[in-house]
Amino acid sequence: MFSSLSSLLFLAVCAYAGAALRGSADGVELMTVSAVTVTESAELDGIVLRRERVLPRGAELVPAAENGLRLPAGTAIALPDGTRELTGHSCVFFSQTDGFEALAPEAPEETDAAALDRLLAASPAESGKSGGRLVSGFDWYYAAYADTAGESIQPGECRVRFDGFEETVSARAVSVSDESGRRFILLRLTEGGADYLSLRKTKAEIVFSEHRGLKLPAQAVRHDADGTDYVYVLCAGVVERRGAELIYSDKDCCLADPNGSGDALREGERVILSGTDIYEGKVLTQ
């Protein structure tokens, strides 16, 4: 699905118990361990496209519909000229428009880089002067340009997080191409919540992987002859050994499993980063 993760890393610190505090004891450098989440992702900047229709000002649904409610096919629309028509498909009603509805391609699944450029440069029509909009179908699209990490993106299934949302949602990259030195991506999504169906110009990120663990500088991790990883911690002035099962690493830092068993490292412990003649049981002056 994706090529090797040579993309940029974005370190997002989530649910910190406290800052990674550094200190010293008897010439030994210490750091208080905290849990972090490391996210490998590519940032996107683009626009959401849907199959939608703007109702003329004064039009009303019969019966009246709540904002964000999905309506069945055959729902009546009372038009300002006194006539009525029926919706041909099920659709979601929204009372507000954003002015981009008329600018979007009639077939959003065919959006290309040229269409995206036009949309990003366009000025939307004045919003609010309508009877609302109807969004039909269960799929919608996000056309965007990716940053340099987007070189890893290939057509296929992926996970996406939009600005303002904590969770990721499933998507499928249906079109990926290089346009004038930029990576163009067209994603198809089916997430049906009203908040998603109200998105328009927005940033997002394709998430390649996420790892949550105890952040350790690479210099703190030691290795037994059999390859077992461990660290030294200072506990009540005494050096103790803690197991550190690494679940992620790069050239600068490592993440240790926060749920290790037995004598495994725990969040909040003070890890020894550097010092001379460090061994288990050594007493250090605070």
Comparing CA positions, the residue from 88, 116, 85, 84 lying closest to residue 103 is 116
The tokens for 113 are 């880089």
> Residue 146 and residue 174: Cα distance in Å, rounded?
14
Question: What do you get for the CA distance between the two ends of the chain, in Å?
Answer: 52
The pLDDT tens digits of the residues spanning 178-198 come to 988 899 999 999 987 889 999
Give the distance from CA 268 to its chain's centroid. 27
Question: What is the pLDDT at residue 5?
Answer: 37
In terms of Cβ atoms closer than 10 Å to its own Cβ (0-12, 13-18, 19+), residue 139 is middle
Amino acid at 201: K
Provide the pLDDT for residue 11. 37
**Tell me, what's the pLDDT at 7?**
36
High-pLDDT (> 90) share of the chain, %: 69
CATH of domain 9-37+211-274: 2.40.420.20
Please report which confidence band the pLDDT of residue 9 belongs to, taking 50, 70 and 90 as the band edges: very low
Intervals of CATH 2.40.420.20 along the chain:
9-37+211-274
Model pLDDT for residues 113-143, shown as the tens digit of each residue:
999 999 999 888 776 678 899 999 899 999 9
